[in-house]
Amino acid sequence: MTLPGSPFLAYRGEELFLEDCALDALASRFGTPLYVYSQAAMLAALEPYRRALAGREHLICYAMKANSNLAVLQTFAQAGCGFDIVSAGELERVLAAGGDPAKVVFSGVGKTRAEMRRALEAGVMCFNVESEAELEVLSQVALECGTRAPVSLRVNPDVDAKTHPYISTGLKDNKFGIAHQRALVAYRRAASLPGLRVVGIDCHIGSQITDTGPYLDALERLLDLVEALEAEGIEIHHLDLGGGLGITYTDETPPGADELIAQLLARIDARGHARRKLMFEPGRSLVGNAGVLLTETLYLKPGETKNFCVVDAAMNDLMRPAMYEAWMGIVPCVRRDAPAQTWDVVGPVCESGDWLGRDREFAVEPGDRLAVLSAGAYGMSMASNYNTRGRAAEVMVAGSQAHLIREREDAAELFRLERTLPR
């Protein structure tokens, strides 16, 4: 039985496997909570992007905020990808994983001068500038470094991506990008600043998008701007169309990456822009369904109105349910031949918001391991040490091989940088 989301995750008899690794055995070997990722699933998710863009000048920049483990970055770097970063720390991760800084785009609304300097020293491909004020500061920093910064302006097209409000980024009320109606003015200023070199235009409208319509609407507005800019002599070398394509958590039916890109290319070609380099910034769609979070059942707590399955993973390990009320599949690593019951799956953290799933049906006993599905994106990357809990270990599987790619944190590591007051 293959589960929704990934062909690499399936039951063989009563045991759940990721590729050729039994997940219950991995939980025994490495402990829980445990993140497990499939390298084959990541590369399979990348393939439709590459296939759709074959024959075009392009660059796929993995949006590494989705999952920034070095082994994940290494996997995409070796596949020829660039990276979309939002901090100097993410840049250092790219370099540590063997990524090419010349394939890095630096996004984010609050870049510091120190981050700008580091990115210029490293030789990033482009800064996706998100405000007119940032243009002025970046030009100053670039001149201080004796260079010119390559820039693309992130334009906010005021397009509704029809996604959760916390992950919508393309509306005029969002903090991201430069308002569509100010874009021409901002580009004129960018072209006039001595420390900047205009190279492209960028747009990103949100995350977990399941419809092609918002992408096409945003593209039309972007191409209008490109044509207006080039009429004024401001050349645009690349179109960065962002990321945000959704995945299947339960019953969502997002378009395939190749289907989406085919529609975008048809519009681009119809308007005479086929010559331009194309860039995309996928994150969740590459890693979301490639990972699971394994957790062990500690206690079963039947109640008058709710039955609680208390597990050793918590909101500090996986924030999405608490933050977004996100639905994520939860299934046993080994299925029991027993009647199913309805459970709320909750963790040990001292918060009522500490839940991983509500009203889930399965048969379970203390000591059983459960798998939280579609946990490859915004799981470990958003994890914290709340309640002084060490972050989980991470494992990458490749066929029948399992590689520990992050060790579990212990308590001493959590306060290693802290100091007590003099006595």
- Regarding predicted confidence, which is higher, 74 or 218? 74
Mean pLDDT for the stretch of residues 79-86: 98
350 is catalytic: yes
Does 167 score more than 50 pLDDT?
no
Percentage of the chain modeled with pLDDT above 90 = 85
CA–chain centroid gap for 18, Å, is: 21
Provide the pLDDT for residue 163: 47
Strands 291-302 and 34-38: antiparallel
What b-and-e string marks burial along 107-141, b requiring 16 or more CB atoms within 10 Å of the CB?
bbbebeeebbebbbebebbbbbbbbeebbebbbeb
pLDDT at 162 over 70: no
User: Phi first, then psi: what are they for 24, rounded to 5°?
Assistant: -65, -35
304 — pLDDT class (breaks 50, 70, 90): confident
Reported as a pLDDT band with limits 50, 70 and 90, residue 208 is confident
- Spatial contact of 234 and 28, defined as CB atoms under 8 Å apart: no
Query: How would residue 375 be classed by pLDDT, with cut points 50, 70 and 90?
Result: very high
**pLDDT confidence of residue 212:** 87
| Residue-level pLDDT at 317 | 97
pLDDT band of residue 160 (cuts 50, 70, 90) is: low
The values of phi and psi at residue 231, to 5°, are -65, -25
CA dihedral (188, 191, 196, 202) positive or negative: positive
The predicted structure's pLDDT at residue 110: 94
Task: Please report which confidence band the pLDDT of residue 174 belongs to, taking 50, 70 and 90 as the band edges.
Answer: low
Q: Please name each of the domains of the chain with its CATH number.
A: 9-38+288-414 (2.40.37.10), 107-282 (3.20.20.10)
Q: Are 170 and 204 in contact (CB under 8 A)?
A: yes
Distance of CA 355 to the CA centre of its chain: 22
Q: In this predicted structure, what is the pLDDT of residue 171?
A: 46
Residue 158: predicted pLDDT: 74
pLDDT of residue 207: 78
Residue 260 has a pLDDT of 94
Per-residue pLDDT at 252: 85
382-386 long-range contacts, CB within 8 A, separation 24+:
382/318, 382/319, 382/320, 382/323, 383/316, 383/317, 383/318, 383/319, 384/316, 384/319, 385/316, 385/409, 385/414, 386/315, 386/316, 386/349
The answer on pLDDT for 168 being more than 80 is: no
Q: Please write the tens of the pLDDT for every residue from 37-77.
A: 999 999 999 999 999 999 999 999 999 999 999 999 999 99
Residue-level pLDDT at 164: 42
Q: Tell me phi and psi for residue 239, to 5 degrees.
A: -110, 120
Range 82-98 average pLDDT: 98
Is the pLDDT at 214 greater than 90? The verdict is no
In sequence order, the 6+-apart residues with CB closer than 8 A to the CB of 79 are 43, 46
- The pLDDT value given to residue 399: 98
Identified catalytic residue from 21, 61, 309, 350: 350
pTM of model > 0.75: yes
Is a pLDDT exceeding 60 seen at residue 2?
no
Q: CA nearest 401: which of 28, 39, 45?
A: 39
* Residues 86-96, mean pLDDT to the nearest whole number: 98
Conformational region of residue 230, where left means phi above 0, alpha means psi within -120 to 50, and beta covers everything else: alpha
Q: What is the pLDDT of residue 263?
A: 95
Whether residue 161 has pLDDT greater than 60: no
Mean pLDDT of 294-304: 95
User: Is residue 169's pLDDT more than 70?
Assistant: no
Dihedral pair phi/psi, residue 263, rounded to 5°: -65, -40
176 falls in which pLDDT band (50, 70, 90)? Answer: low
Q: How many CA atoms lie within 13 A of 125 on its CB side?
A: 21
- Residue with the bigger pLDDT between 180 and 147: it is 147
Kindly report which listed range (4-8, 198-202, 278-282, 392-396) carries the lowest average pLDDT score.
4-8
If you average pLDDT over every residue of the chain, what do you get?
Answer: 93
Specify the pLDDT at position 206: 80
Tell me, what's the pLDDT at 5? 66
